[in-house]
Structure 1
Amino acid sequence: MRWEDLDKQPCSLARTLSVVGDRWTMMVLRECFLGLRRFDGIEKRLGITRHVLADRLKKLVENGVLYKAPYQQKPVREEYRLTEKGLELHPVMLALVHWGDKHMVDERGGPIVHIHRKCGQAMQPVTVCSCCGEPVTARDIRVEASPHWQDLSKELLP
């Protein structure tokens, strides 16, 4: 499977990775979730080259993850804001940060803490069943082909 063909795959993960699957894109999204919106601020914080940043931002805008909003008229200057589609990546980002805090840190632990605004407590992301509310892990889930994709079940599933 070629990188540029991921968006054509009958796999939701592959299609998702075609949009957010490289390191710079994820780092740009991290900055957006941390509140940075302007090109220069993101560029400075990440130490990324202008052309790579412009490319990643363009792709995120084209795919509806970010939108450009003017913040100055003369000259026109725009900032990048998360769309609803982009905000829906937050659980993914939290899960990756949590994994990193568990497996990729030194003795000091993770560098940031996520505080739940409502209760004021440090929180950890938990995946729960949307029907019964019970926490789930990989061992608690069975994967089946969707009825709409039965013809592809032999390709997708072992």
Structure 2
Amino acid sequence: MKTLFASLLIIAGTTCYSKSGNDLEILNKFIRANNSGTEEAIGEFIKETYEPHLFEKIDLEKHIDFYMMISKNFGHLNTMVYKKIEENPLRLVVHLIKESESVLNKSIDPSEILVVEIDLNKDNPKYLSRGLGLGALVCELRKE
């Protein structure tokens, strides 16, 4: 009975991890590309993570320019998630902060917090269904 219970826990843990593995992998790729701050790294991020049919339709230069603007405005990002807002098998929304900030600091100015929305393609969840949703938390708060 103990063996069966342990096996079920391992299977459940593996299933939960596999559901969130793609979104976390994409998030980590974004952080690395952002922190490198180069057009090449950001272009590679887009090529690796955008669903192939979506990638064929986009203006790559405009997408690179957008990610470069975010990189310049926010600078290097902390590799640890500051706050997780939403998580399900096809969607992850998190707050990221600057590399120099501590994730323990609970009084960071909302204009210094980057909201990242990852929507995975339901047919092939290793790819994004659209580009990342990115913006300062202060903008999101103003909408409310």
In the superposition, the TM-score normalised over structure 2's length comes to 0.27
Task: Tell which structure's C-alpha radius of gyration is larger.
Answer: 1
Q: Which has the higher strand share?
A: 2
Q: Which has the higher helix share?
A: 2
More relative contact order, 1 or 2 (CA 8 Å, 6+ apart): 2
In the superposition, the TM-score normalised over structure 1's length comes to 0.26
